[in-house]
Amino acid sequence: MDWRYNTIWFDQIDKEKQLHLDLKKDKFDPASLTDIEYSIIWHLHDKQGFECFTKADRLLYLELNWANFKNFQGIEQLKALKRLELHYCLKFEDYSGISSLKESLEFLHIDRAKKLKISNELLELVNLKVLRLNACGDLDNLEFLQHFPFLVDFRFVDTNVLSGDLTPLIQHPNIRSVAFINKKHYNLKDIEVDEKLQQKSTQTFKDYAYREKYATFKYSCLTA
């Protein structure tokens, strides 16, 4: 079990490699991340933004919930980061700084950041395999997907595509999984897109893990 799995079973990861903090109750000490590979943090309010992660160069997975950051300046310190998740970080304004992770980052999931819109900084993340921009700023169109040649999973639930043209999802050479909310001005429905993506290849692209009645998966293309 590791960062590649869609749902991570953290009880199967060494506890000494994890740090989970709720900063309404806990205190944030950058030094506590020195040997940490997986971290989930709630309510991190720091004017320095990612600059505060001064001792986190081993992090593979970082999830921030309700942080007050406005951009990605300083994130270059997280040079090993493979997966970044941001949930309800409502103050994000732009992607400045995120291009510094273009060599490492493969999985980016942003949920609820309406001010964030596609920029050249984001487009430099050429190694992305999973991109989820849910409830983010409007997308003019989906032509930007061509900048992510290895992308397998793209989700834009509650994010509007102004052009209404979803054909880039079908035209992309590697996208196999998508999720979005149907809209009147879209030229394809979710069922149509799923059918066309299934027709692109019969080759298995997911590996599953099972525990009792539960299951999770990882995309085969993600690197360990």
Nearest to 52 by CA among 38, 31, 26, 35: 31
The percentage of residues in the chain with a pLDDT greater than 70, rounded to a whole number, is 100
Residue 4 counted as domain residue: no
Q: What's the token pair of residue 212? A: 């009792």
Q: Is pLDDT of 51 > 90? A: yes
Residue 1 counted as domain residue: no
Domains identified in the chain, total number: 1
- How confident is the prediction for the chain on average, in pLDDT? 95
Residue 224 counted as domain residue: no
- Among 30-44, 46-60, 195-209, the minimum mean pLDDT is found in 195-209
Q: Helix or strand or coil: residue 193?
A: helix
What CATH code is carried by the domain that includes residue 205? 3.80.10.10
The percentage of residues in the chain with a pLDDT greater than 90, rounded to a whole number, is 91
Residue 5 counted as domain residue: no
Q: Locate tokens 């903090």: which residue?
A: 21
Contact partners, residue 94, CB within 8 Å, separation at least 6: 70, 71, 115, 116, 117, 119, 121
Residue 2 counted as domain residue: no
| Domain with 87 in it | 10-219
Query: What's the CA gap between 133 and 182, in Å, rounded?
Result: 16
Residue 67 counted as domain residue: yes
pLDDT in tens, 15-37: 999 999 999 998 889 999 999 99
